[in-house]
Structure formats: structure tokens, C-alpha cells
Amino acid sequence: MNRKLIRPNLSEIKEKMTRESVKKKSHPAYETHAENYYHLKQMNKKTLMGVAFEDGETTEGYIEWYDKNCIKLNRNNAPNLLIYKHSIKYLYKLNDIKKGKQKT
């Protein structure tokens, strides 16, 4: 009896491998939009915010609008400020701090 050797078709194997690689999970998105959500929430509630700068200076006011690079801060009895985000060390809610001081 004569046996015949059966070889797989390499193009079929390559197609199968590419289909499997497409099914792999992709990396999570770089942008989560959490910062946008936070700014919108504070703008809508007109929350009094404190801004601490990289150099240690602080100021307070309400966020009027923001974009990718800066925020506009409305201040009471003082000129409004356009602040670049790269100069901000952190933001904080002043209402939370005042509530914390009243409890103690």
C-alpha cells in the first residue's frame, strides 16, 4: 500500500494566525475624560475652587470655562484669570475645607 503525505496549506495557517491576533484585546484608551467631567461638574455647581500653583502661590474663584491647556477662573472683587494647566500643582474645593474646619 502506498501512503500519501498530507501537508497543510501554509496560506490557511497564516490566515488563521492573523484572525487570532485581531481578536486580542486592545490597550485601554489613553484619555479617560475624567478631568473634563470634573471641570464640568464644578462649573455647573459653581463650586468655589482653590488653585495651588507650582511656585507655592494660591488663589481662589469659580471655574468659568476650560480647554485642553488652560482654565478661566472668575474671582470675587479681583480680575478674572486665565491659568495654564501646566502651572497648576493641584485644584481643591474650598467648600470642603470650610466644612471640615467647622466640624472641629
pLDDT digits (tens, 9 = 90+) for 43-81: 999 999 999 999 999 999 999 999 999 999 999 999 999
Structural domain boundaries in the chain: 34-103
Q: Among 3.40.50.10860, 2.30.30.100, 2.115.10.20, 3.90.700.10, what is the CATH number of 34-103? A: 2.30.30.100
pLDDT digits (tens, 9 = 90+) for 31-51: 788 989 999 999 999 999 999
Q: In residues, how long is the chain?
A: 104
pTM for this predicted structure: 0.63
Q: Give the rounded distance of the alpha carbon of 65 from its chain centre.
A: 16
Which residues are 59's β-sheet partners? 51
Three-state DSSP state, 56: coil
